[in-house]
Structure 1
Amino acid sequence: MKRIHLIAVFLFATVLSKAQTNPPTDLGTIQQNLKKLDVLGSVLYVAAHPDDENTRLLAYLAQEKHYRTGYLSLTRGDGGQNLIGNEQSELLGLIRTQELLAARRIDGAEQFFTRANDFGFSKGPEETLKIWDKEKVLGDVVWVIRKFRPDVIICRFPTTGEGGHGHHTSSAILAQEAFTAAADPNRYPEQLQYVKPWQAKRLMWNTFNFGSTNTTAADQFKIDVGVYNTTLGKGYGEIAAESRSNHKTQGFGSAKQRGESYEFFKTILGDAPQNDLMDGVNTTWKRVKDGEAISTLIGVINRNFISEAPEKSLPALVQLLMKVEKVPDTYWREQKTKELNNLIAACAGLWFEAYATEPTYALGDKMSLREQVINRFNYKVKINSVINADNTLNLNSKVLPTNQLQTFEDNMVASKLTQPYWLAAPHPIGVYTLPDNTLAGNPENPDLPKVTFQFIVEGKPINIDRRILYKYVDPVRGEVYQPIEITPPVTANIDNKDYIFSTQQAQTVLINLKSFTKASGTISLKPAAGWKISPEKIDFTNKDKNDEWSVAFTVTPTEGKTKTTDLEAVVNANGKPFSLSLRRIRYDHVPAITLFPPAQTKLVYLDLKNNGKKIGYIAGAGDQMPEALRQVGYEVHMLTENEVMNGDLSGYDAIVTGVRAYNVNDRLAYQQPKLMEYVKNGGNLVVQYNNNNGIVVKQIGPYPFTVVNRRVTDENAEITVLDQQNPVLNYPNKITSDDFNGWIQERGLYYVSNIDPQYKAILQMHDKGEEPLNGSLIVGDYGKGRFVYTSLAFFRELPAGVPGAYRLFINLLSKPKATSGTN
């Protein structure tokens, strides 16, 4: 048995972080959990994205009715826009996953996901379900239902399309099919080695009144969810606002609402409720064998509970636990045992956690751990053992002294990368590739490192897990917890996402390496057809933990107009190959996020001509356009308000506004006259798309147009040229139909209409079955200059290295010297 180091220290005050490992143990939480013990009911809410959930209803069901409540978001919101940074796609999905988990910590529900990838706006369920691979995603919904066993399932959207978004409608279609499929042992039979078929009592649609769409009616079943919870000191409209305000990437900060508020429902499948959402469902202990005695004991515990001395309930709670452990219903036995274990720990005044002494460890290295426990009450509680994946600290039922923090030193091997499981393998556009189908539903990796504490309370062993985190003290934020990182021995980050070639001239590919353990080995680039790479490899020796260094390779096209090629870096460290980079995402409102994307870049050969070099850029909601423009040789300067208002803008060949700039930067209302003056004096202003809601100026351009919520979601939609001779299609690059090949996710969004005749509409396009739209790109001369407004999704295309999008956007930046006009 390994040696145990026991350190006793006095309790000291700390600043608690919302990511702390120890769950809340305040009196209100204890009382809420005591009430929940006596309720055996569950509700699953189903929708498509983060932010689709009805947080007020979730909070009401979880904390007023005390049902086990879950939200199944089919996607992680990967395809949306980011109002707080420049992360897109999977990176945005990671942030929104954590925003949802933060929301659930407030409203009391649980969070689940399928493997579906949010590929962007979809106009109908046919497209959505085809791209999502319907059978796989339906299987995930069935899996979650069979595991969660909801008595009632609630959809946010109908199957008839009033939700607008194809993903929304698809979520209702899948929920409706899964309602029946989950009960059918012939559907997804491979799941039945882990779970049993499950038939929910009913499927409801939570009707809504959004904007101009009102699907509620006075004769529908309804619930007042605006009630006040005296234990929590809040109404559910207040709790809902706190929960929803976690969706910061979407700008969904919400005002707290108070007072009566009704939610309306229509029955889709199953028996319609008459008086209560759970009509016909026994939500008491009578639903399990010999449950009445358990309910009676819970009643006694609640009546005798003393708020000033919760530990006095421990004998009865332990007696209750022993009864619950004998319940034959596996599902409710497991749920209520877990609830009771946590409740006993809270009533005993136990606080305990496990944390690593360093934030990062390489695969195979030994992690140094500290497990801390304190018994805050003068009650005889013993600690028997502390168990991790590799070691057991046998503490031999040591009595925990009152109010003295106990620290145990321990270790375990870092055995698995902390890579988000849904990003561990490449995936097609519509669904993530899961290493194991049973992982579906999990918001995070279920096998993240943990420690199990075993206490002895009233002679009864109580086992409770704690996830291992890293904690440190920040001078501003105080005590901070963050997930530990288990990394490859060495990561390789290629300096640029894309390398754009327009000639046969060689370029230098810089790779930034970081060692997370003592390492020696080589770094190389995999051979790529049509490209010469030199040198073949570069050695490194005796690198220590946290060493960082850079190496350079020369890459040269060898076959004229070489096709676009993925280039992969391979690190052979300590005899094992790795091709992973390191990406960290840090925002104060969510825990630290770390992932290990493939160590890849893209080599793109463009037939590209440039005009002008100096670009002024006004930041919007966050995009990667400045970096993309620098890749093709532009000098991009991020303009400040002072520079716009007081500087000389004439030196810029073009000024570009970032996506949604006129939505998120209210100072543009004051800068707009200066920008129009810049255009009038001969400048070239390129404005990227804005949302039609919340534009901060009355008129974005020199002449009127209206931003509308119209888009073309088919990235392969046919393009019709309306003004073939316009300079933006001819100078300095001749744009052809080939330049619209290979676009990703969509053609564009928030097109314009009511276009003043002094603008020229350049392109026309439409999704299948819809009328043509000509508001994706408009150009107007003003004074000596040119104004361009574009709703095309350049903010997605250029960072993805789409050749034709680069060529067209360069043309927008390149105003021919001859362009002139009048005001």
Structure 2
Amino acid sequence: MPYCNSHTCYISKISGYKQFLLPFIILLINMRLYKIVCVFLLLTSAAWAQTAPRAGIADIKQAFKKLNVLGSVLYVAAHPDDENTRLLAYLAQEKHYRTGYLSLTRGDGGQNLIGNEQSELLGLIRTQELLAARRMDGAEQFFSRANDFGFSKGPDETLKIWDREEVLGDVVWVIRRFKPDVIICRFPTTGEGGHGHHTSSAILAQEAFTAAADPKRFPEQLAYVQPWQAKRLLWNTFNFGAANTTAADQFKIDVGVYNSLLGKGYGEIAAESRSNHKSQGFGSARQRGEAIEYFKTILGDAPHTDLMDGITTTWKRVSGVEGIDANIQIINKEFDENAPEKSVPALVKVLARVEKISGSYWREQKTKELKNLIAACAGLWFEAYSTEASYALGDSISIRSQIINRYSNRVKINSISIAGTTQTLATVVPANQLQTFDSKTIAGKLTQPYWLEMPRSLGSYHIASQQLVGNPENPDLPKVEVEFIVEGKPIRLERRIVYKYVDPVRGEVYRPIEIAPPVTANIDNPVYIFKDNQPQNILVKIKSFTQAAGSIALRAPAGWKISPEKINFTGKKKGDEWTESFAITPAETQPKTDVLQVVTTCNGKDYSMALQRISYEHIPVITLFPPAQAKLVKLDLQTPGKNIGYIAGAGDMVPDALRQVGYKVTLLHEEDMMKGDLSSYDAIVTGVRAYNINDRLIVEQPRLMEYVKNGGNLVIQYNNNAGLVLNNIGPYPFKVVNQRVTDENAKVTILEPKSALLNYPNKITGNDFDGWVQERGLYFVSGADAQYQAVLQMNDPGETPNAGSLITTNYGKGRFTYTSLSFFRQLPAGVPGAFRLFVNLLSKPNIN
């Protein structure tokens, strides 16, 4: 699949302070679930099962080929899963170019088919999915600061929200650092990509092609990098769906060739790479045989016979290393697969020559490749482990470095360095004997993802340092550097420090270490709804990462009363967890929304951070420290019904939100549907995309219709028009279509002011559509039978009014309602009007 399809990226924007608060509101909703799941789900992905590079014979032979190639290609698109993994694998592993993928966003606005994470949390997952994909296809990964704020209908909107100049500067920065000979963009500037982000990625790539070479553009970058002019910018045209942008006269490459060393063709490698995009549901079948990629020249010289026409991609592009390519070819030819160590002396001599290259770029790239190749041939392996998974800021980290040398007794360890502190050893490493060295360092910086250290704007993350830009992860994560002496030559290798232990079922398990605040505080719920002036209990779960003493206090806006004012604690040890309870009484004011903050004073310093871990089998454990806060909503809300049956959808957090306003919500399973007494429920609700993911609804649908006919109240939330398991969702015909309103502030017109949906038990007015987040709705309906009543009308600017967001009908003694409004976003975010309207959908007046 060459680019994001309609159901992947069409999520709209979010405004105000909510764009930073919402993801943490969402994550805290499921904290009770995650504190069970995330503690015990550990990293099992084979792709991240070690920190040392692979060192098999195939890897060594591939590395030999890469040594004599000095060319680079940068691929540019908008989102994770936009990249052409088959082309990336071909360029990296067949042509052996240094190959990179610049995804302007981290995919924060996409959909999540494996869990409930949204926004920044989904971006964290998709970042790791991209890194897992790159480990498969051999390319490198980069990002800009742009935020995937959701579906955009054109580049003008996108580039305004992103801040065109700022994101352009990031693209220029990546080009200047990566120095690509060729730049390839996935999408055109003319809109065939079907998404404003897609088109914008092409526009920015085109502007950056020229700007990167101009010293007058972004001159502040020149303190670290130099201007760079790529040879050409190409568009990788595509034939997907209704858009065929390929042509017979375009430059083309067959990337479906077979790599006998790897035992795979690039269609097979691409499928393995792309299948890492699990949160987007992009599991892919392996493809074999010819696969033609087409290219159109946008800027620079057009290629005629080869992608690198006119570009020197051999050692001739650097001076002072005449004959080095021949030396490498001889070493490769004489390589003994049964005794790789025989190549070490000759490779060390080549390394000595490469280190004398005057230009820093290829010297840096090739010395790194040579050092890893020498280590692989020598059977020289090392990794570094912490003794615990978690540490508090400022605490001492105990590190165990394990090293084995399978080469000869002539290998020495000169020194081990951690965080600028060097331990000199000058000791011989006995052949084939595992050596262990213990050391310590200080946990000097939180392992918070660098792009989440500050609240972001709607369009982009705020990044503290220019040199952080482009990095997929924090570049300063704790690591160990070991200097070996091999054949008399110093060779420095580095490894990330990880936590490793042995699981009795899975064997060795690796996970990143986390450096946390001394204490974290998680509020039990992300949103507290107050329907009156009665107090509510607020539970705060505290976790200590070190020996701690201090106090916990809640801070709320003026007028809110909190009891007690603070709670002291003392004598807490590392790993202790406990819960404190506060009572909070709302202010004597009109309905409004406020923010509650937890402040934990520990060892004389204030902290206001929560703890969140995200864990899936295909990516490393992710830890972050979001603000320790919740939303307080004082709301004029009547809730006559109490008993709700709920059929779960995908990534759905509506049930917890309904429980917040006093409903008893029962999750219904097939046995409940087929054998239970459905008449006991005041309403039954289907979660978002339930008719896309639950094929048992085909069997259960007649029971739902019977429930309605006998007087029940059925509410169906939005479904994707692609892949419905059942065409006739309602009692009368209607179609789900790919239409949406992405402007969360779009005007809403009430078409049926007397409808019970707008009057019972809460009177709905235009004010109830204020403060919505990210979008109004998605996958509206059209062609609805005359039996349905369309209640609302809305549209994005410049578009035709659309009445497909909310339809309802009486059926028998009951009521059927279908809504495309994005309640699944609004309720977790505590949007008052969305609560009032959704409660109305659940509340059928007794008029029979």
Q: TM-score range by the shorter chain?
A: over 0.9
> How far has the Cα of 1:698 moved from its partner?
2.4
Q: Does the 8 A contact of 1:363 with 1:415 survive in 2? A: yes
2:661 is aligned to 632
1:366 to 375, 388, 396: 396
Equivalent residue for 1:473? 502
Q: Secondary structure at the match of 1:75?
A: coil
Aligned to 1:701: 730
Output one character per residue of 1:696-719: Cα deviation in whole Å (capped at 9) or x when no partner.
112111111111111111111111
Deviation of 1:94 (Å):
0.4
Match of 1:355, SS state, is strand
Q: How does 1:690-729 map to 2 (within 5 A)?
A: 690-729=719-758
- Report what 2:517 is aligned to: 488
Q: What is the SS of the residue equivalent to 2:415?
A: strand
How far apart are residue 16 of structure 1 and its match?
A: 6.3
Q: 1:603 aligns with which of 621, 627, 632?
A: 632
Which residue of 2 is the match for residue 420 of structure 1?
A: 449
Residues 477 and 687 (structure 1), Cα distance of their counterparts in 2 relative to 1, 3 Å cut: farther
User: In 2, Cα distance between the equivalents of 1:326 and 1:789?
Assistant: 70
CA drift at 1:655:
1.3
- Distance (whole Å) between structure 2 residues aligned to residue 560 and residue 433 of structure 1: 35
1:445 maps to a residue whose letter is N
What TM-score does the superposition give when structure 1 sets the normalisation length? 0.96
Q: CA offsets, 1:787-806, max 9 Å, x none?
A: 11111111111111111111
Q: Paired residue for 1:79?
A: 109
Deviates more, 1:668-677 or 1:455-464: 668-677
1:388 and 1:726 map into 2 onto residues whose CA distance is 68
Q: CA deviation at 1:379?
A: 6.2
**Structure 2 counterpart of 1:541:** 570
Q: Distance in 1 between matches of 2:810 and 2:243?
A: 40
Query: Given the alignment, which residue of 121, 124, 139 partners 2:169?
Result: 139
Q: One-letter code of the match for 2:189?
A: T
Quote how far apart the aligned CAs of 1:784 are.
1.5
Q: Is the alpha carbon distance of 1:15 and 1:385 closer, same or farther for their aligned partners in structure 2, counting shifts above 3 Å? A: farther
Q: Is 1:15–1:478's contact at 8 Å kept on the other side of the alignment?
A: no
Is residue 170 of structure 1 aligned with residue 200 of structure 2?
yes
In structure 2, the residue matched to 1:810 is 839
Q: Deviations over 1:27-63 (max 9, x none)?
A: 1111111100101111111111111000000000000
Structure-2 residue corresponding to 1:301? 331
Contact 2:45–2:617 (CA under 8 A) maintained in structure 1: no
Q: Could you tell me which of 243, 257, 271 is aligned with 1:213?
A: 243
Is the CA contact (8 Å cut-off) linking 2:409 and 2:428 kept in structure 1? no
Q: Quick one: distance in 2 between partners of 1:393 and 1:311?
A: 28
SS at 2:501 equivalent: strand
- Displacement of 1:525 in angstroms is 1.6
Q: Distance in 2 between matches of 1:757 and 1:59?
A: 54
CA–CA distance in 1 between the matches of 2:492 and 2:68? 22
1:16/1:480 contact within 8 Å kept: no
Equivalent residue, structure 2, for 1:399: 428
2:269 to 239, 244, 247: 239
Cα deviation, residue 631, structure 1: 0.9
Are 2:45 and 2:618, in contact at CA under 8 Å, matched by a contact in 1? no
Which residue of structure 2 aligns with residue 97 of structure 1?
127
Q: Does 1:349 align with 2:379?
A: yes
Correspondence for 1:52? 82
8 Å CA contact 2:45–2:619 kept in 1: the answer is: no
SS in structure 1 at match of 2:723: coil
Matching residue's letter, 1:354: A
Equivalent-residue separation in structure 2 for 1:645 and 1:437 (angstroms): 59
**Which of residues 646, 652, 664 is equivalent to 1:617?**
646
Deviations 1:467-491 (A, max 9, x none): 0000112233221100001000000
Instruction: Specify the alignment match of 2:41 in structure 1.
Output: none
Where does residue 159 of structure 1 map in the other structure? 189
CA deviation string 1:526-567 (max 9, x = no partner): 241231222221111111111111112221122322521111
One-letter code aligned to 1:659:
V
Task: Provide the rounded CA distance (Å) in 2 between the counterparts of 1:125 and 1:276.
Answer: 32
CA distance in 2, matches of 1:787, 1:307: 71
The answer for unaligned runs of 5 or more in structure 2 is 1-43
Distance 2:295 2:381 in 1: 42
Secondary structure class of the residue paired with 2:174: helix
1:548-697 matches, within 5 Å, as 548-697=577-726
Secondary structure at the residue paired with 2:726? coil
Partner SS state of residue 177, structure 1 = helix
State the shift of 1:74 in Å: 0.6
Give the corresponding residue for 1:262.
Answer: 292
Q: Find out whether 1:516 has 2:534 as its counterpart.
A: no
Letter in 2 for 1:419: Q
After the TM superposition, which of the residue ranges 306-315 and 185-194 deviates more from structure 2? Answer: 306-315
Aligned residues: 805
Deviations 1:592-638 (A, max 9, x none): 00000010111111111112111111111112111111111111111
The aligned counterpart of 2:260 is 230
Cα distance in structure 1, aligned partners of 2:708 and 2:403: 67
Give the conservation status (yes or no) of the 8 Å contact 1:107–1:240.
Answer: yes
Q: Is the contact made by 1:149 and 1:200 (CA closer than 8 Å) also made in structure 2?
A: yes
Amino acid at match of 2:484: F
Deviations 1:419-446 (A, max 9, x none): 0000111111111111212211000000
Tell me how far apart the structure 2 counterparts of residues 291 and 768 of structure 1 sit (CA, whole Å): 61
Cα deviation digits, residues 301-347 of structure 1 (max 9, x gap): 11111111111111111011011101111101001111111111111
Alignment partners' CA distance in 2, 1:16 and 1:774? 49
Matching residue of 1:112: 142
Using a 3 Å threshold, how does the CA distance of structure 1 residues 206 and 704 change in structure 2: closer, same or farther? same
State how far apart, in whole Å, the 2-side matches of 1:670 and 1:277 are.
54
Instruction: Provide Cα deviations, 1:740-791, integer angstroms capped at 9, x if missing partner.
Output: 1111111111111111111111111111111121111111222211111111
User: Secondary structure in 1 aligned to 2:725?
Assistant: coil
Give yes or no for contact 1:348–1:379 (8 Å, CA) kept in 2.
no
The range that moved more, 641-650 or 198-207, is 641-650
CA distance in 2, matches of 1:386, 1:645: 66
TM-score by length of 2: 0.94
For residue 96 of structure 1, give the secondary structure of its aligned residue in structure 2.
helix
Which residue does 2:69 correspond to in 1? 39
Instruction: Assess if the C-alpha contact under 8 Å between 1:364 and 1:415 holds in 2.
Output: yes
Letter in 1 for 2:815: R
What residue is the counterpart of 1:330 in the other structure?
360
Match of 2:763 in 1: 734
RCO (CA 8 Å, sep 6+): is it higher in 1 or 2? Answer: 2
Unaligned runs of 5+ in 1: 1-13
For the residue of structure 1 that corresponds to 2:48, the secondary structure is: coil
1:172-214: CA deviations, max 9, x gaps?
1111111111111111110000000111111111111111111
1:100-125 Cα offsets, whole Å, 9 max, x none, are 00000000000111111111111011
Spell out, residue by residue over 1:273-327, the C-alpha distance to the aligned partner (whole angstroms, 9 max, x if none). 1111111111111111124322121111111111111111111110110111011
Shift of 1:72: 0.5
Q: Distance in 2 between matches of 1:656 and 1:402?
A: 67
Range that drifts further, 663-672 or 239-248: 663-672
- The C-alpha deviation readout for 1:673-712, integer Å capped at 9, x for no partner, is 2222222221111111111111111211111111111111
Aligned to 1:199: 229
Task: For 1:371, give the aligned amino acid.
Answer: S
Of 65, 70, 73, the residue aligned with 2:100 is 70
Which amino acid in the other structure matches residue 661 of structure 1?
A: A
Which of 512, 517, 530 is matched with 1:501 structurally? Answer: 530
**Aligned residue in 1 for 2:789:** 760
Q: Check the 8 A contact 1:418/1:448 in 2, yes or no.
A: yes
Which residue of 2 is the match for residue 437 of structure 1? 466
* 8 Å Cα contact 2:530-2:634 kept in structure 1: yes
SS in 2 for 1:404: coil
1:249 pairs with 2:279: yes
Give the AA of the match of 2:163: D
Name the CA distance, whole Å, in 2 between partners of 1:377 and 1:616: 67
> In structure 2, the residue corresponding to 1:158 is in which secondary structure?
coil
Which amino acid is the alignment partner of residue 209 of structure 2? F
